[in-house]
Amino acid sequence: MIRPFLQIVTLGLIPGLATADPTTSTLYATHYNTSSIYTLSLTRFNGSYSLTETASLKTCGTYPSWITLDSSTKTLYCSDEDGYRNADESVNGSLTALSVGEDGSLSEKAVTGNAPGSGVHNVVYEDEEGEKYLAIAHYSGAALSTFALPLQDDADPLQVLEFELEAPGTVPERQEAPHPHQTFLDPTGSFVLVPDLGADLIRVFAIDKSNGELSTCPSLNYTLGGGPRHGVFRTFSEEPRIRGRAPGPEPVLYVAGELNGEVEAFVVSYPNSGCLSFTQFNTNVPYPSGLPEGASLGEIRLADDDLYVSVRQDSAFDGDDSLARLSLGKDGKVEFEEISTSGGVMPRTFAINKAGDLVAVGNQLSSTVAIVERDLDTGVLGEVVAELLVGVPGDDNMEGPPMYGLSSIIWSE
């Protein structure tokens, strides 16, 4: 923040005050079975931190799973993981748009119950007129849906693309059906990518820039039994939004496989076909040796030349789980560096702030948000500097899918 000149002068006259200026950041967390979004406030003051809950709102259907902030319209989009589709029936989930007030408070703007079931992730994309759309991955709905924005009450999807699997995959108990787990954009904003954990595919869709419609491109055939969960692009240019053309040298896609516990790297190119092509060139286990029995990869994020992956239920830090750091070579190859504490149990998600010096970890089972520092020079993650129990902890002994605890965390920036 740039202060007016006069104010700097005024503060400068009061000894000690200028250095003791607290800074505050806002975060939002979704919690599955309290059906709520929580507003958190992180204050940094004189080298120490405090994390508090400033508000909560019961919203986003039965199982709030994922939120995306569109900061330009101050809107949060929340997907509800309720619902499913199988051979006998399908049950819808919901989608909620919320306004973010000046003070960070939330209020519902529009709700629709016409989304396919089990929304687990969403992303905002744009057409050439700047009109916006939301693409949603539906895990147990085995589908991808899109909605025109701004969202209207009871809106129908623009498109629902349902996926099928002819036979169960290599890990039949998890791959009995397609399970799209994430939606994200390529660096040009022209394609939506969808890791499908059930089908071992990264599905690719080209965006029609005149109307936001998606058309199906050939998928990336992922390692069988890999269970791709989340992916992230690394580009080599500061100007990624040249339409339909990748910037600079070819971008690299890194994907965390939930089922094989590996990070796989692919060079991505833009052939004249108008779709994408991928060449796998590196795989790595983000752990000192093999992943411990029962542990699995969750989130994957990139900051500068480091890749971070959450490792769920390895219990490596006095019962708490891990974040793994991998350094990236100039050639894009991945090298495991170290693990550090996630500050809680089952780090389903984490998010790095824009400055790159803090990581907020969403630990699902302990239902805690832990803030860890990130060294800007080395990329190394530190100890927990602030921590907060949000909602109600999960219970590992319960039958059925783990629809409890903290489901996602984002910075409001």
Ligand X SMILES: *[C@@H]1O[C@H](CO)[C@@H](O)[C@H](O)[C@H]1NC(C)=O
Candidate residues 65, 68, 75, 92; the one interacting with ligand X per rule CB under 6 A = 92
Q: How far apart are CA 299 and CA 255, in angstroms?
A: 10
Nearest distance, CB of residue 221 and ligand X, angstroms: 4
Candidate residues 157, 178, 180, 343; the one interacting with ligand X per rule CB under 6 A = 157
The residue among 208 and 395 lying less far from ligand X, judged by its C-beta, is 395
The reply to whether 156 sits near ligand X by the rule CB under 6 A is yes
Burial class (CB in 10 A: 0-12, 13-18, 19+), 17: exposed
Candidate residues 113, 150, 292, 356; the one interacting with ligand X per rule CB under 6 A = 113
372: alpha, beta or left, given left = phi > 0 and alpha = psi -120 to 50?
beta
- Of 138, 30, 34, 164, the C-alpha closest to 81 is 138
- Of 158, 111, 112, 118, the C-alpha closest to 134 is 158
The residue among 62 and 73 lying less far from ligand X, judged by its C-beta, is 62
The residue among 61 and 286 lying less far from ligand X, judged by its C-beta, is 61
The reply to whether 283 sits near ligand X by the rule CB under 6 A is no
Measure CA 371 to chain center: 16
How many CA atoms lie within 13 Å of 334's alpha carbon, on the beta-carbon side? Answer: 30
Candidate residues 55, 160, 267, 389; the one interacting with ligand X per rule CB under 6 A = 160
Q: How far apart are CA 55 and CA 34, in angstroms?
A: 14
- Length of the chain measured in residues: 413
Nearest distance, CB of residue 301 and ligand X, angstroms: 27
Nearest distance, CB of residue 145 and ligand X, angstroms: 7
* Near ligand X in 347-406, by CB under 6 A: 392, 394-395, 398, 404
Q: How far apart are CA 75 and CA 72, in angstroms?
A: 8
* Near ligand X in 168-227, by CB under 6 A: 218, 221
Nearest distance, CB of residue 260 and ligand X, angstroms: 18
The reply to whether 33 sits near ligand X by the rule CB under 6 A is yes
Residue ranges in contact with ligand X by CB under 6 A: 20, 33-34, 46-47, 92, 113-114, 156-157, 160, 218, 221, 392, 394-395, 398, 404
